[in-house]
């Protein structure tokens, strides 16, 4: 968390334990905190405060968007209705879309994204028809960093169908501008902890006129769409993170991009056959997905004080290869040799150089050991 965010979260935890849904004075004060945060997130997205719904995380927001929309439409879905998404979406999107087959008899259609994992507007247009009711696409891929042209995709969708567009912007909200007045997204997810806010809170933008059903039962909080007592400390922290993002997003982007290039230059010094996955240019500034031929990622997860992921944090404990890496054409062996590295603005140049050099040194050591073992085997 950003220090300013942490200060607010701690203060609200200490001073504001009332339920923001209560009508007494303490409840009103808590509600004021929530309303202020809702306004900050709305400002970040150029949306109305009444279009922002808080959830406990991006996965919950994705499920509310997809399942809530389809459940609301369940009685007037045309025969043969389809939901379109891509093969490289987050697992929460893919599983929610697959569940629509069971719950609503809807046929999921998956777009191939090519070797960069990028959705081109023409590919989206090719699978749309008058039976398409929903399309789900990420603004940026959390594993390989590729950024999709969501404004052009939205224009194509509205020109070729009556489908609702759901955009998962949970990975991109902290770095890329999102203007809901220009992007034809009807539903859009942003995540607090991806912009230096606290974990445990996210927001779903629901454009006016788009109707959802709740996916869990309870009280009438968040316009009845996500019942349950709000954690106003996390919500308040999210609001501060959204404000800070709006104020310094471009500076953050440039700093993190520069750090990434320094890290990548260090890693390249470890030798040949190291490649970046995802789009070379249209990508998140702090993301590096690299395949190190001949070195299993499991051997590189802990290097001194440097912690590196072999995939997305949500799926790194799964035994099968990343579905994203396989979808962009990597073999099972290559996927097993792929690292996912994230950098942020609170890192120093010295820390990044040290981490990059440590990784390069370990790659050289492991490759040397592998070569020695092959010579000994002969």
Annotated active-site positions, please?
A: 314
Radius of gyration of the chain (CA): 22
Cβ–Cβ < 8 Å for 44, 241: no
Residue entry with tokens 């009508």: 23
Name residue 137's beta-bridge partners. Answer: 167
Interacting residues of 64 by C-beta distance below 8 A, sequence separation 6+: 53, 55, 204, 212, 214, 215, 225, 226
How far does the chain reach from its first CA to its final CA, in angstroms? 53
Residue 166: φ, ψ to 5° = -110, 125
DSSP string, 82-124: EEEEETTS-HHHHHHHHHHHHHH--EEEEE--TTTT---HHHH
């Amino acid at each position: 968390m950003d220090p300013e965010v942490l200060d607010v979260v701690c203060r609200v935890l200490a001073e504001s334990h009332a339920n923001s849904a209560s009508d007494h004075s303490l409840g009103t004060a808590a509600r004021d905190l929530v309303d202020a945060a809702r306004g900050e997130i709305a400002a970040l997205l150029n949306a109305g405060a009444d279009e922002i719904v808080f959830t406990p995380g991006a996965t919950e927001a994705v499920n509310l968007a997809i399942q809530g929309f389809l459940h609301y439409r369940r009685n007037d879905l045309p025969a043969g209705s389809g939901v379109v998404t891509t093969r490289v979406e987050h697992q929460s999107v893919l599983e929610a879309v697959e569940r629509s087959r069971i719950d609503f008899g809807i046929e999921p259609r998956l777009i191939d994204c090519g070797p960069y994992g990028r959705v081109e507007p023409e590919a989206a247009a090719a699978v749309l028809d008058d039976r398409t009711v929903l399309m789900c696409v990420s603004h940026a891929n959390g594993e390989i960093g590729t950024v999709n042209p969501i404004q052009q995709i939205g224009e194509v969708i509205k020109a070729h169908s009556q489908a609702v567009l759901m955009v998962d912007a949970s990975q991109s909200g902290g770095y890329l501008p999102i203007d809901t007045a220009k992007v034809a997204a009807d539903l859009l997810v942003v995540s607090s902890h991806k912009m230096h806010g606290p974990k445990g809170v996210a927001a779903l933008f629901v454009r006016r006129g788009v109707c959802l059903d709740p996916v869990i039962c309870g009280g009438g909080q968040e316009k009845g769409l996500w019942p349950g007592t709000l954690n106003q400390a996390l919500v308040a922290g999210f609001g501060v993170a959204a404000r800070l993002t709006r104020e310094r997003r471009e500076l953050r982007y440039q700093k993190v991009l520069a750090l990434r290039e320094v890290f990548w230059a260090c890693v390249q010094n470890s030798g040949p056959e190291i490649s970046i996955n995802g789009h070379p240019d249209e990508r998140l500034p702090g993301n590096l997905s690299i395949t190190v031929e001949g070195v299993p990622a499991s051997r590189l997860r802990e290097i001194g004080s440097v912690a590196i992921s072999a995939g997305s944090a949500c799926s790194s404990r799964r035994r099968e290869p990343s579905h994203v890496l396989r979808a962009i054409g990597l073999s099972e062996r290559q996927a097993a040799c792929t690292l996912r590295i994230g950098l942020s603005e609170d890192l120093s140049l010295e820390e990044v150089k040290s981490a990059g050099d440590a990784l390069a040194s370990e790659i050289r050591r492991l490759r040397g050991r592998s070569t020695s073992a092959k010579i000994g085997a002969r």
